Structure 1
Amino acid sequence: MAEIEVPGPDPDWQPAVQMPYYTGKNPAYQYSVWEHCVPLFQLIGGLVLPVQSVARRLRLQVERSWDGLDELDVVLFRLKGFSFAISKHDGDPRGISDLWLTQPHERADDALDTLLQVIGIGQDAIAFRSDAHKAPTQPDRAE
């Protein structure tokens, strides 16, 4: 069977990932896998660590993605009964990586502590802890 050639885009269509969405003539709006999944995740904290360092320690592959905000690095993995994602947007002025549980869990603090223990670093790597039911907290740091 012969392959059918699809015509190219109309000249007045903007890229499907260009903001502001739905304001141009392109009828499509593209979103990333990350953008699709992250609303289901539970943010449990921020880490003063690059995604690449954690990935290297655990021998994970860093995925490059993007969303409506920016390009980002992300790893998704399971560790000792917890399902994690660690992400970092290129343009995030905080300079931290967000730590997520990809399946909500009642023991979010235990999950964060388990990750730190396995990667061999201390509590000083925590920029903040978060719970879906409480406001984020900053760790006590000795000045």
Structure 2
Amino acid sequence: MAEIEMPGPDPNWQPAVQMPYYTGKNPAYQYSVWERCAPLFQMIGGLVLPVQSVAWRLRLQVERFWDGLDELDVVLFRLKGFSFAISKHDGDPRDIYDVWLTQPHERADEALGALLQVIGIGEDAVAFRGNAHKAPTPPN
């Protein structure tokens, strides 16, 4: 079989991961695995311990991704019937690791409690509960 020679990249095309998307001449737009699955998850809180520590304790593998914003470390796992993700973007100045869940927020406290119990740490590791990117709901 003859070797097929692929032409090089078109010099007029911007990188497929370059923002703003769909504004250049490149017909392709690259997205990451985390970018595609993140909409399934809802932020339920933040931890002050690294995702690598949680992964080490549970014998998980931390995955390195680019999500269209930045590079990030993320670990996705199931624990006691909950689907979790713990992530941290390189460019996030907070020393906090976001905890995500696929279940509705009504079960967020139960899920976070199960995570803390299994990894063997207390409430002092919780930086916040809820979504750090939304204003807190005022009490009734």
Partner of 1:141: none
Question: In structure 2, what residue type is equivalent to 1:107?
Answer: R
| Residue 125 (structure 2) pairs with residue 125 (structure 1) | yes
Mark the CA change 1:3 to 1:77 in structure 2 (over 3 Å): closer, same or farther: farther
SS at match of 2:95: coil
Mean Cα displacement is larger for which, 114-123 or 7-16? 7-16
Question: In structure 2, what residue type is equivalent to 1:55?
Answer: A
Partner of 1:30: 30
Asked if the contact 1:129/1:136 (under 8 Å) is kept, the reply is no
Question: In structure 2, what residue type is equivalent to 1:76?
Answer: L
* Alignment map for 1:92-103 (pairs within 5 Å): 92-103=92-103
Mean Cα displacement is larger for which, 54-63 or 8-17? 8-17
| Residue 9 (structure 2) pairs with residue 9 (structure 1) | yes
In the alignment, the residues of structure 2 paired with residue 2 and residue 45 of structure 1 have an alpha-carbon distance, to the nearest angstrom, of 56
Post-superposition offset of 1:103:
4.0
SS at match of 1:107: helix
Superposed CA RMSD in Å reads 2.0
Percent same amino acid among aligned pairs? Answer: 87
Post-superposition offset of 1:102:
2.9
Mark the CA change 1:49 to 1:5 in structure 2 (over 3 Å): closer, same or farther: same
Q: Output the TM-score relative to the length of structure 1.
A: 0.85
Please, which runs of 5 or more residues in structure 2 have no aligned partner?
none
In the alignment, the residues of structure 1 paired with residue 136 and residue 74 of structure 2 have an alpha-carbon distance, to the nearest angstrom, of 21
Please, which runs of 5 or more residues in structure 1 have no aligned partner?
138-143
Question: In structure 2, what residue type is equivalent to 1:46?
Answer: G
Moved over 2 A (4+): 1-8, 102-106, 134-137
In the alignment, the residues of structure 1 paired with residue 2 and residue 103 of structure 2 have an alpha-carbon distance, to the nearest angstrom, of 45
The number of equivalent residue pairs is 135
Asked if the contact 1:46/1:97 (under 8 Å) is kept, the reply is yes
